[in-house]
């Protein structure tokens, strides 16, 4: 793994195994997490006092940590339950050596607990990491989820977390007002969400490239993505399937 400085001053890693960065260096690790995931999700659920979050996948933990940072910064007293699968045990064990932004300094105890015990809890915050395959983990989740941070490596190398069947599995776990956030704008990914009945909106931010927000109910917001129209214009468009796992 190679440490890489991103444009907002925060660090990410480059994975030689997947041949990809954990975050896009030209968006920034913190910016990507904040603007593509955390802000849209917390804004959508502004009024809920308790949130269950599925963080796919933990990696360096930016999405979990930025969520907790933002709740602290806004003096929110929401209760959060964060569930996060991650294949790479070694990465979790070495989290304390990673150079996070100083805004995450208050998370030192939490990070220590995650690497030693795989979970952290206090009165307001519960975080649990599952070491293993996310698809397997999803079969055993009992809780209904309000927020999914869909942040696997891209579909070229991490196909099992972007297929029609995967999104069908995710859908069974969601509360009806849930939001799924992702950096991906790829047509097959959006098709996978569309055929499972998700409504999608372009997530635009001045700090990052566009992402996608997906919901089970139609929303009263801008930038609706009309997938029916897209499909009419491109009848070849289709989702990724579990049965077709080869890289493209």
Ligand X SMILES: C[S@@+](CC[C@H](N)C(=O)[O-])C[C@H]1O[C@@H](n2cnc3c(N)ncnc32)[C@H](O)[C@@H]1O
Q: Does position 153 bind ligand X by CB under 6 A?
A: yes
Q: Does position 196 bind ligand X by CB under 6 A?
A: no
Contacting residue, 25, 28, 40, 59, with ligand X by CB under 6 A: 59
Q: Does position 158 bind ligand X by CB under 6 A?
A: yes
Q: Which is nearer to ligand X, 63 or 196 (CB)?
A: 63
Q: Is 99 helix (H, G, I), strand (E, B) or coil?
A: coil
Give the DSSP letter of residue 38: I
Q: Which is nearer to ligand X, 105 or 176 (CB)?
A: 105
Dihedral-angle region of residue 26 (phi above 0 means left; psi in -120 to 50 means alpha; beta otherwise) = alpha
**How far is Cα 212 from Cα 182, in angstroms, rounded to an integer?**
5
Judged by CB under 6 A, the chain residues 68 through 87 that form the site for ligand X are: 85-87
Query: Smallest distance from the beta carbon of 138 to ligand X, in angstroms?
Result: 10
Q: Which stretch binds ligand X (CB under 6 A): 120-128, 150-158, 193-201, 235-243?
A: 150-158
* CB burial of residue 233 (10 Å; 0-12, 13-18, 19+): exposed
Torsion of CA 32, 35, 41, 42, to 10 degrees: 120
Query: Smallest distance from the beta carbon of 162 to ligand X, in angstroms?
Result: 11
Q: Which helix (H) or strand (E) holds 14?
A: strand 11-15
What are the Cα distances from residue 132, in Å, to 123, 138, 178? 27, 11, 25
Query: Smallest distance from the beta carbon of 125 to ligand X, in angstroms?
Result: 17
How many residues in the shown chain lie near ligand X by CB under 6 A?
21
**How far is Cα 13 from Cα 4, in angstroms, rounded to an integer?**
6
Q: Does position 28 bind ligand X by CB under 6 A?
A: no
Q: Does position 165 bind ligand X by CB under 6 A?
A: no
Binding site for ligand X (CB under 6 A): 22, 33, 57, 59-63, 85-88, 91, 133-134, 151-153, 158, 160-161
């Amino acid at each position: 793994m190679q440490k890489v400085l991103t444009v907002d001053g925060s660090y990410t890693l480059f994975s030689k195994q997947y041949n990809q960065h954990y975050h896009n260096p030209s968006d920034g690790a913190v910016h990507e997490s904040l603007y593509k995931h955390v802000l849209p999700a917390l804004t959508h659920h502004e009024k809920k006092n308790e949130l269950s979050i599925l963080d796919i996948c933990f990696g360096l933990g930016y999405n979990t940590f930025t969520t907790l940072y933002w709740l602290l910064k806004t003096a929110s007293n929401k209760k959060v339950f964060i569930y996060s699968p991650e294949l790479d045990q070694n990465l979790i064990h070495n989290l304390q050596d990673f150079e996070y932004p100083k805004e995450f300094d208050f998370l030192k105890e939490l990070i220590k607990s995650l690497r030693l015990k795989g979970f952290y809890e206090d009165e307001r915050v519960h975080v649990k990491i599952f070491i293993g395959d996310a698809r397997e983990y999803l079969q055993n989740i009992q809780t209904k989820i309000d927020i999914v941070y869909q942040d696997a490596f891209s579909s070229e190398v991490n196909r099992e977390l972007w297929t029609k069947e995967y999104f069908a599995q995710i859908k069974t776990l969601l509360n009806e007002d849930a939001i799924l956030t992702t950096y991906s704008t790829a047509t097959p990914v959006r098709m996978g969400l569309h055929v499972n009945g998700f409504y999608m909106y372009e997530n635009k931010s001045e700090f990052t490239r566009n992402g996608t927000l997906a919901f089970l109910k139609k929303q009263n917001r801008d930038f609706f993505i009309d997938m029916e129209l897209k499909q009419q214009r491109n009848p070849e468009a289709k989702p990724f399937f579990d049965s077709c796992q080869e890289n493209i």
